[in-house]
Structure 1
Amino acid sequence: MKLDILLVDLALVAAVVIPYILFILLGKKEGRKLKTRFSEEMQKHDLSLSEEDSWNNSIVGLDKVRAMILFVQKRKVDFAVEFIDLKEVRTCEIYTEMQTISREQDSEDILQKLGFQLKLNNGEFRFIELYNCEESYAQDYELKHAERWKKTINDLINVRSTLNSAA
C-alpha cells in the first residue's frame, strides 16, 4: 500500500517538475541562439562594440568608433537584423502605437508597437521595430530601453555634427 502511494507521489512530482525544467532549458536554448546570431553578425561586419544591451528577445550594440548600431531580434519565424549607420542619421525619435481599451469607468492604453523613427540625412525615414505585440506578448521595459537608446543615438549624432561644424 505504501509503495502505491509512493509511486503516485513520484509520478505527480515528475509531472510537475519535468515540464518546468524543460521550459527553462528551452528558454536558455533560444537565448543562446540569439546571442550566437548577434556574435556572428558582429564578426561578419567587423564591429567592436563599446555598449551592448539585451532584453526580452532583442540585443543591441553600439560601435562608437565606426558609428554603427547592430540590432538583432528573435521573431516568430526568424531573426530580424538591422544595421544603423549613424553617419547617415539626422535624428532619432520613438514611435508608439497604442490601443485604448475601455472598461466600465476608465480606459487603459495597451502598447501594440514600439520602435525608432530615424530621419536620414537625405530626408527619408527608416523605421526599426523594437516591439510588436503580434510577435511577443511579453514586455520587458520596452519603452525604457527605447528611450535609453534614443538618447544614446541622438547624443552620438550631436557629438558628430558638433565635430563636423567645428572642422
Structure 2
Amino acid sequence: MATAVRQALINARRSAVHLEMRDIYTPGDPDFADWRAGVRFDPAERWRSWFDLVVSTVSRGVRMRRARIISEPVSEYIRYEYDVTGRHNVAAGEEVRWLPRRRAADLALPGADFWLIDEQVVIFDHFDGDGNWNPATDMEIRTDPDTVGLAASAFESVWERALPHAQYRPR
C-alpha cells in the first residue's frame, strides 16, 4: 500500500472510492503465487495492516467503495481477487462491485486506475503492461476540478451498472 493512499484514507472524512480496470496486477506477488499453488490463506491475517486501515476508516463513517471492471472470461488473477474479496475487502467494510468490460464499453473512463478521496483528491496508479507498479514513480496525485469531476463521474457510472460482490459470479 502506497504511503499516499494510506495517508489519504487516514484523512478521509466522507468517502473513498477505488476504480480498478486491469485484468492482472503484480503477477509476481507471492500471495497470488500461493493461491495459484492451492494455498488458501486468511487475507485478513496476511494483509492485517490494510484490513485494520479499512476497519478504522469505515468505523469513522467513511464510505469505502471499490469497483472492478473485468474481462470475461475472467483472468486467473481476477479469480484470485474474487476469491479473497469477500474474506478480506467486504469483511473489513468495503463495498465491492464487479462490472464485466462489455457492459462498460460506452462509459467515459480515465486511462488509469484511481482512488478518489472525499471527491477532492484523485490518486492515479500507473501500471506497466505486465501489471507491475512502482510505488516510488507510478502514482500521480491530482486535485484540479476537471480531473476530480471526471473521476467522480466515471466511478459513479461504473458503480450504477456493476453487480455487488455477493451477486457476481466470475465466468
TM-score (norm 2): 0.26
For the pair shown, the structure with the greater C-alpha radius of gyration is: 1
TM-score (norm 1): 0.27
Would you tell me which structure has more strand in proportion to its own residues? 1
